[in-house]
Structure 1
Amino acid sequence: MIATKMFLSWISLLCLCISLQNILCKLTVDATSSLGNPTVVIVGSGIGGTSCAYYLKKILPDANVVILETDSRIGGRIYDVKIDGEVFGIGGYAWAGYHGYIKELVDEMGLDRTDRDFDGEPNFVSPFTFTAWNGTHLIDTREIVKAHEESMEILENGTVDFYVRMEDNYALRGYETFSEMEKFLSYGALGQWPTLESRQYYTNGSVNLELQDLAMAPLQEFINSQGLESHVFSMYTSLSAFMGTGRVVGGNLKLVDALVEAASAEVFLNSTVTTVERLSNGFNVVYQRENEQREMYADYVVIAAPLEATEINFQNFDPPVSKPARDWYAAYSYIVTAEGYNMEYFTEDPDRNVSGFIIGIPGKASGLASITSISMGDLIYYKVTTTRNFTVDIEDMFINPSVRAEHHWDFGHPVLEPHTAGGATYQDVVLSPGLYNIGVMNDVMSQMEGSVIAARNAALLIGKESLNASCSICLIPTIQAKLIIIFTSMWKFILT
């Protein structure tokens, strides 16, 4: 009788352990199926979206990465066209020497770049080698620089300091993540510059007003599509733009293509995301493709486009997703072949020789941002960038012009006004747990590298969140071992 009770007790305990073991196995399978290979939906296929896809694949090799792009092509603001056998970049064109991540990506993709001989030392290179256009006549900025050597020394010292602090930002940040822009700016002590207006900052710093108006303002127009009402951080990105400048040989779009391939990402073009709905354990992404509404589950969502451009409806978020609206400048780009400039348009002598490139002075050049030129045979190829439609002006600006390519972006550059108390505020890096905003970096630097910085950060945040979520799975072997100890102890008790 006692032996029978002992046997039945043993059987009951064994059944209990088997049941617990089955529950643990199920928990293991359910958890690892989602956490080991999460689905990440990226909205936008520019350099931000595609580099984020690549970083995710490096951090989470089994992740399922999907890119939804509203346009019929990938690249975003990177846009290359081939004309007469030559590749012309009419979008994002070049990077600066301290832009470490994009150069690293180019190298990892096995692509060649034009700045490989750059030694990386922060030696100031004057960006004022262009001709400024004030709407009535042309001004050689090199002559302006000669007249204001003391002011140039102030600019040189400040720009080198900015360059070094940016390098410090990369070194100090390392693989640390940031959930708000203030933390990003704390590395290298960069936080003051986005809060200060350029005009006031440089005037207080004794930089000559003529140099500001005729050289610095058009430079800022060329790089960031705005004038000296913008914040100081953006002005320093313009002043440092020619220090180690580089680009991908054959066009920057080659980098975007290579990143997509390396990430093994699925890309759906002509796919406009309309709704992101919060679920209990992820997101439901609703998008329009081929005139049909489609849906896709995602563990994480990355917005790699300006929030203002996406017009996404965020549903079931508590608290609601915050979307501080920013004003944007449109951007138009043209590739024009012509026999030369029509100097009458610039009210200049027909025999005047214009060296370098022409940049418009903000508020005085009727929307002209820049004109760069390349001579090939009997024709000259001009790249014209503007903030409005310039088709009619092109007819008057050149001799026998022909527009060979054109493109425009409604969201070219955000208005980079100072981030002061009661003024502009940063958008959120983390819009909600699992929902990330790459476009936030445009608030301080509207260059390719800014998008890559934010993309890398989003991928690291997702990687850390996946790791933290999976840590609980690591406890399962411990629980299993505890069960064995309990079973053994109880069996010994029964036997005694």
Structure 2
Amino acid sequence: MKHPLVLVVWSLTLLVCNNQANLNIAIIGGGIGGTSCAHFLREMFNDLVKIDIYEGNKVGGRLATEIMNDGNEYETGGSVIHQRNKYMSDFVNHFGLQKRNSLFKNERLGFYNGKDFDFIENNYFILHLMNIYWRYGYSLKHLNDFVYSMLDKFDKIYELQANGQSFDTTYDLLTSMDPSFVNYLNISVKDAYLKNDYSISLVTELVQASIRVNYGQNINVHQFVGTVSMAGMDGSLWSVKEGNKRVAEKLLEISKAQLIDEYVIQIMKNGESYTLLTNTGKKSTYDYVVFAAPLVSNQRIPINFANIPLEFDKLGTYHQTVCTLVFGKIKKTQFPPLSDYPSPILIISTNEKVFFNSISNIEGVNETANLNVWKVFSQEPLTNNQIHALFVNITDVKIVNWLAYPHYYVPTESRSFHIADRLYHINAIEWVASAMEMSCIGAKNVALLIKKHFYSKEQSETVERSHIEL
């Protein structure tokens, strides 16, 4: 019989050797979720893990840009980050990236009802405050207090994850921050806010506008995502110089993951491992697979899950949002109240019958400003007639059609971060709210789940082997 101390040392040595030989992880999707998961896995396992990221398009996923004919690059996907987003801020600081200086600090906001403006910001601060409180009343302060109270509770997730805590479902994750958060998934933001005596105009104009511009939907979304949307209206937002996609590119580099520029078309379960088949016919086998992309009934690149039962009719759908970049001049006759205002503008439609969600001037990712470059969000691709109804002197148009975020509904059931044994889904968290920071939180949760499973399994096998040796 081995001495107990010798047995412990032998067991630990065997565990390390097994780690080096056996831990191979595939991540499907090279967006912010997939690349941040690779980074977190590298931090947790160091050189004991081999990571492959499958991305058949561009690294960054929904963090994407387009070049217009002025030679500058503009965001077409995820564009803004909140000042309290810890992971995104840490990535920028640690990787030598820079926050982009906003050149449109005096942007003027207007809520358009299809015929006229219900509200337009005044360029004089005191008059602006008087106007906004005159229209929306003191309930605006109560709403701001509620949003920041929710953010304070939300911050608990960072401490929990730093301590290695992981969660199997979205309900578990929310409950860990505050038990009341689960209730927010089961009531619309409209009903929740009216129940709390916020004014009708505040809900149907300001809250509706925030959801239209951020999620392309309306005040029937659940309260949690509606409140996240409102947090993005306080002006405490920033972006990354050279484009938000630079964060994903840096995460890929730092993680030392191998990028495989192919699409996965099949995931097959073989005992305790998975075989991935790509569009070029390449096959590779992994111990763990992380799905870092939307998994919905209307996904555009279908994947066959062989020997893995999935009920796609229960997955839900993602919401189509079309981003149209236009180089031209806005027709001020279409919006007379703005005709005498030369500064940047953001027009948000509160009327769902209007063919656009929002129209705004847009800054270049390299801190360039051109008041002739516009971003239009809409539910459907704009026709030429619609584009020309809004703009004149058009010299360039770029269109990007996204399945950008879930189509939110009430009630929203809990989503699992497990698709099957050793198969994980980061984007389950998007049914709580879709944002860059949420993807990073989901990514770290999945990395922690893998770590928990792997070490508990390896320790169990080591104990079994030690019993045999004894």
User: Is TM (by shorter chain) over 0.5?
Assistant: yes
Whether contact under 8 Å (2:330, 2:391) holds in the other structure is yes
Describe the shift of the 1:176–1:89 C-alpha distance in structure 2 as closer, same or farther (beyond 3 A).
same
Residue identity opposite 2:246 in structure 1:
K
Deviation at 1:32, TM superposition (A): 3.8
Whether contact under 8 Å (1:321, 1:432) holds in the other structure is no
Residues 250-280 of structure 1 show CA distances to partners (whole Å, capped at 9, x for unaligned) of 21111111111111112222x2222211111
Whether contact under 8 Å (1:303, 1:437) holds in the other structure is yes
| Equivalent of residue 205 in structure 1, options 178, 196, 203 | 196
- 1:165 partner SS: helix
2: CA distance between counterparts of 1:260 and 1:221?
32
Residue identity opposite 1:441 in structure 2:
I
| Equivalent of residue 318 in structure 2, options 295, 307, 328 | 328
Q: Does residue 430 of the first structure (1) align with residue 427 of the second (2)?
A: no
> 1:82-481, aligned counterparts within 5 Å?
82-83=67-68, 84-114=70-100, 130-142=109-121, 143-174=131-162, 175-189=164-178, 190-241=181-232, 242=234, 244-269=236-261, 271-289=262-280, 293-308=281-296, 309=299, 310-317=301-308, 320-323=309-312, 324-338=314-328, 340-346=329-335, 348=336, 351-353=339-341, 356-373=345-362, 380-392=372-384, 393-409=386-402, 411-419=403-411, 424-472=412-460, 474-475=462-463
Deviation at 1:334, TM superposition (A): 2.4
Residue identity opposite 1:398 in structure 2:
F
Residue identity opposite 1:462 in structure 2:
I
Residues 316-352 of structure 1 show CA distances to partners (whole Å, capped at 9, x for unaligned) of 24xx3455221322122122221x3213334x36844
Describe the shift of the 1:145–1:76 C-alpha distance in structure 2 as closer, same or farther (beyond 3 A).
farther
Residues 351-389 of structure 1 show CA distances to partners (whole Å, capped at 9, x for unaligned) of 443763111224132233342345978852212222211
1: CA distance between counterparts of 2:362 and 2:422?
46
1: CA distance between counterparts of 2:369 and 2:147?
39
Describe the shift of the 1:35–1:196 C-alpha distance in structure 2 as closer, same or farther (beyond 3 A).
farther
Whether contact under 8 Å (1:134, 1:364) holds in the other structure is no
Over aligned residues, Cα RMSD in angstroms? Answer: 3.1
- 2:182 partner SS: coil
Residues 372-410 of structure 1 show CA distances to partners (whole Å, capped at 9, x for unaligned) of 34597885221222221124222221121233433221x
TM-score calculated relative to the size of structure 2: 0.84
- 1:92 partner SS: coil
1: CA distance between counterparts of 2:266 and 2:288?
14
Deviation at 1:191, TM superposition (A): 1.8
Residue identity opposite 1:272 in structure 2:
Y
1: CA distance between counterparts of 2:295 and 2:311?
10
1: CA distance between counterparts of 2:266 and 2:331?
50
Residue identity opposite 1:384 in structure 2:
V
Describe the shift of the 1:35–1:316 C-alpha distance in structure 2 as closer, same or farther (beyond 3 A).
farther
- 1:382 partner SS: strand
- 2:227 partner SS: helix
* Number of the residue aligned with 1:489: none
Describe the shift of the 1:465–1:401 C-alpha distance in structure 2 as closer, same or farther (beyond 3 A).
same
Aligned residues: 436
Describe the shift of the 1:315–1:388 C-alpha distance in structure 2 as closer, same or farther (beyond 3 A).
same
2: CA distance between counterparts of 1:172 and 1:160?
20
* Number of the residue aligned with 1:121: none
- 1:372 partner SS: strand
1: CA distance between counterparts of 2:108 and 2:369?
25
Residue identity opposite 2:27 in structure 1:
I
**Bigger Cα displacement from structure 2, 256-265 vs 62-71:** 62-71
* Number of the residue aligned with 1:43: 28
- 1:358 partner SS: strand
Detail structure 1 runs of 4+ shifted over 6 Å in the superposition.
Answer: 28-31, 375-378
Whether contact under 8 Å (1:331, 1:385) holds in the other structure is yes
TM-score calculated relative to the size of structure 1: 0.80
Describe the shift of the 1:114–1:466 C-alpha distance in structure 2 as closer, same or farther (beyond 3 A).
same
Residue identity opposite 2:323 in structure 1:
S
Residues 267-298 of structure 1 show CA distances to partners (whole Å, capped at 9, x for unaligned) of 222x2222211111211112213xxx221101
2: CA distance between counterparts of 1:248 and 1:374?
12
Unaligned 5+ runs, structure 1: 1-16, 18-24, 117-127, 484-496
- 1:400 partner SS: strand
* Number of the residue aligned with 1:12: none
Deviation at 1:425, TM superposition (A): 2.3
Whether contact under 8 Å (1:342, 1:350) holds in the other structure is no
* Number of the residue aligned with 1:79: 64
- 1:401 partner SS: strand
Whether contact under 8 Å (1:273, 1:312) holds in the other structure is yes
Unaligned 5+ runs, structure 2: 3-9, 122-130
**Bigger Cα displacement from structure 2, 358-367 vs 232-241:** 358-367
* Number of the residue aligned with 1:119: none
Whether contact under 8 Å (2:63, 2:79) holds in the other structure is yes
Residues 45-101 of structure 1 show CA distances to partners (whole Å, capped at 9, x for unaligned) of 111011111111111223111111232x22111002344453321110111122211
Percent of matched pairs sharing the same residue? 22
Whether contact under 8 Å (2:422, 2:450) holds in the other structure is yes
Residue identity opposite 1:403 in structure 2:
D
Describe the shift of the 1:32–1:218 C-alpha distance in structure 2 as closer, same or farther (beyond 3 A).
same
Residues 463-482 of structure 1 show CA distances to partners (whole Å, capped at 9, x for unaligned) of 222222221465489569x7
Deviation at 1:227, TM superposition (A): 0.8
2: CA distance between counterparts of 1:155 and 1:378?
34
2: CA distance between counterparts of 1:456 and 1:296?
24
